[in-house]
Structure 1
């Protein structure tokens, strides 16, 4: 699957290697494709009981079409949407970005193919457009309490940022995560395989903070196409007083801004309050729910949808 997204730039969650990792977790891929000889488009999906959903899991920040920009891509997406009417009665696509036109594009394609389509926000994405700033300039704009915390606590831990995979540091990350407030990892083997591959490609930024030689916070970032992605972060609750997570996050921001010179930092999905201290803008993520009106299974959800519209 070599198709690019509409903007012509691949992200971690658009690559064939990512979908292969997902398949290894037990998801069964349904790769819907269409081509006209010169161009190819694809949707990476999975299906169960006539319901078709994206090939993704909770590690995926986004899901979107893999199709060229322009009229050719539009035609191919409509062709794929028509094909899917033979495979299922409901297609629910999420979390789809809107800023690159993906949500509008997919909704148009499925409507043109005869599906009844509803689009609604389903999540948000916190981002930091760097806008050419240095880390020092960026840091000066952070909330006072955050800057004060770093000033008071930074010397209590030592930070290290690796641009390659390290088995011992990864073991430290897993131990910290297991002892943190975070829910249990859904697919730890997949995350490790992803980190190993990103390390081999030079895209991994693996950070660890230590206090008296003990790893107390760890984070997993990647950098690609001038974007830094914050995948995972955790700290030991037993050492919460050190604010090691804050110190490590600041060190990683400094690295990706001043060394990698990224244009954007992406904090993934979710509206956790702490993200607003670090990020400056919010983007919506959308759910595109498509029902095949000729299928009896669609009639009840279609009636509910029309009722909600009538009441609203």
Structure 2
């Protein structure tokens, strides 16, 4: 085999570090590149390759041309591979950085823009193309490959693959929907009938409208934009709106496809009310579900699932040539009920040098080992107990959003609504933050008041559903980084999130947030508990207690209910909190509203030590789901010698044990030394940070994060190595 040529010089490329002739797949041909603006001149060849190979609606030249027209950039290149004078493969590429190239792939394109003759190995195509790129290109990525179009190769010295997402495939028997329906579970069919009957009774007759002409595109898309703009995507800024670039793109795609009789637009109605819409592209025997939305106010009737079912039935009856339906998004439970097969899409990386391949594989392996070590696999997420029941409640997030100036816009990753009540079983509240530079961050709906970050879980939720909820959101929102903290590292959620990110091929890491001291309880007798604590604490309580009781007007108050007493207690707490020299609360309405709302639910325990009318110590505890959460503490620094803070903690703890009969006391945040005098156990709260490998900001943030972490490790190592007289091995850093 001849050496690959550098197309710029006409000389053989450096092959010393490329695979040998024995290891390297046979060459598929010679690649050349031209500006993507010349794509129309090559559209006929592109379609011929798609028709004879992929046969994908996504890869029809009109779709690609529309994509380039709306989202193309000057650096996009059209690559052509010729073999004996015949074009056998084509791809759209762009630089992915100084040393890497990748596919041109806006979020509207779910599969790699690569077409090739059937039987050509994608690994050989990638290596040939990498050899034709400038020598500074150390790697080439084909992202989101479909194994049915480009079969997944085995790992090689210069070829690596990564799992992407699982997606749904539905094979329809031509003109025989009854046989397909017979495969569905009885529960699925019963739920479809039950919800349809309920919708008919309460809203009007369930009807399906089908559109296919150019004139019908604009009215359909206006309905689509109106409904999607009223849902969760509006909060994320990703909803299609009339007049925006997405609207113009999908309008042009549907117009071109309808003109060629390759589009069908489906509208589900409940009476006169539009319930759900779906745009479908059709090429040969494949129907692609391009875009779907539904009216979230009708979720209790399952409009999305109903429309999915009706589309399958219509295609079987009216287009028997359609034998396969593709979705390409991360599979969800709605699709899983209809799927006849599930396929895993993948990314492919080609490396110019072995050392680059080795370094990348080591990084991936380290990430996977961290994920595996961090959490055991979970099968489900259950409704919360303990602190998570409080911090993972709708009431908590409502309190944060109304009293705290959280950055960005609120949005949710959630599972589909359940039949009973129309609510999602799992909801992960997030904030979508866009910086002045354009960086887009998804962050937990949390701040320094949050002792824990937890989702809202109203019922048993399979782990796969929870993972799909996050991945579906990430697919639908333009993002650069994701940060979720503080999380319970021992909870099923932690493992589910890490597993979801790993399976999606998203670069991520974990980091330490803070220690959490807590006290599991098996008995509810305060004197028995106190005997187990350090003698220093016991002696302090005895001496301070005697001194305090001798002071005239000394008393203990515990406020639980709303009313005038609560408002006075809130004022006492705020006065003591500021008296310690602390800065005023940055969100002055938060603490009063926290106290009022938890008092209304019977959760508040606001304890006070008083000397006459003078408050000297105050503490806010929350009792929820069998746990007492120590939320905020304050005392008068002028009376520090009386140990008023210690005395109040003892009184509140005794009340929690003997009156509330809690199963756990939780200090929530921090490793303050005094906490281990009261508590017996310590655990750690961690965060998860993820980076979008397909955006410049995401890659830059990942580079800063991992480089900084490595630098800190080196600094710690050098400090330990240079410490005089220290012969003990250094403790591993977190």
Comparing both chains, which one has the higher relative contact order based on Cα–Cα distances under 8 Å and sequence gaps of 6 or more?
A: 1
Alignment map for 1:92-111 (pairs within 5 Å): 92-111=483-502
Give the whole-Å Cα distance in 1 for the aligned partners of 2:601 and 2:452: 21
1:201-259 CA-partner distances (Å, limit 9, x unpaired): 11111100012441100000011111000000110111111111111100000000011
Cα distance change of structure 1 residues 224 and 111 upon mapping to structure 2, 3 Å threshold: same
TM-score, reference length from structure 1:
0.91
Q: Do structure 1's residue 164 and structure 2's residue 561 form an aligned pair?
A: yes
SS in 2 for 1:293: coil
Higher alpha-carbon deviation: 165-174 or 5-14: 5-14
SS in 1 for 2:456: coil
- Correspondence for 2:4: none
- Correspondence for 1:150: 541
- Correspondence for 1:200: 600
Cα distance change of structure 1 residues 180 and 7 upon mapping to structure 2, 3 Å threshold: farther
SS in 2 for 1:206: strand
Rg: which structure is higher? 2
Q: Do structure 1's residue 32 and structure 2's residue 413 form an aligned pair?
A: yes
Give the whole-Å Cα distance in 2 for the aligned partners of 1:302 and 1:80: 20
CA contact (8 A) 1:182 1:234 kept: no
Give the whole-Å Cα distance in 1 for the aligned partners of 2:460 and 2:605: 35
1:41 to 411, 414, 426: 426
Give the whole-Å Cα distance in 1 for the aligned partners of 2:392 and 2:455: 9
Q: CA RMSD in A?
A: 2.3
Give the whole-Å Cα distance in 1 for the aligned partners of 2:505 and 2:480: 12
TM-score, reference length from structure 2:
0.40
CA contact (8 A) 2:381 2:461 kept: no
Aligned residues: 308
- Correspondence for 2:503: 112
- Correspondence for 1:88: 479
1:143-179 CA-partner distances (Å, limit 9, x unpaired): 1121111111114142111222411111111111110
Give the whole-Å Cα distance in 2 for the aligned partners of 1:67 and 1:113: 23
CA drift of 1:305 comes to 4.7
- Correspondence for 1:219: 619
Higher alpha-carbon deviation: 176-185 or 231-240: 176-185
CA drift of 1:37 comes to 4.4
Q: Do structure 1's residue 14 and structure 2's residue 392 form an aligned pair?
A: yes
CA contact (8 A) 1:127 1:267 kept: yes
2:454 to 50, 57, 64: 64
- Correspondence for 1:261: 661
SS in 1 for 2:589: helix
- Correspondence for 1:52: 442
